Amino acid sequence: MGLDGINLSESKDVIGYRFGKAPDTFISYNYSDNKLENGLSVYTEKSIVRSEFLGRKKYEYSGIVSGIGGDGEVLILSYEAEYLD
pLDDT digits (tens, 9 = 90+) for 6-43: 778 888 999 999 888 999 999 999 999 999 999 999 98
Enumerate long-range contacts of 28-31, CB under 8 Å, 24 or more apart.
28/69, 28/75, 30/69, 30/70, 30/71
Q: Which of 1-10, 23-32, 48-57 has the lowest mean pLDDT?
A: 1-10
- For residue 26, count other CB atoms closer than 10 A to its CB: 19
- For residue 74, count other CB atoms closer than 10 A to its CB: 21
Residue 83 pLDDT exceeds 70? no
pTM above 0.85, yes or no: no
Residue 2 pLDDT exceeds 50? no
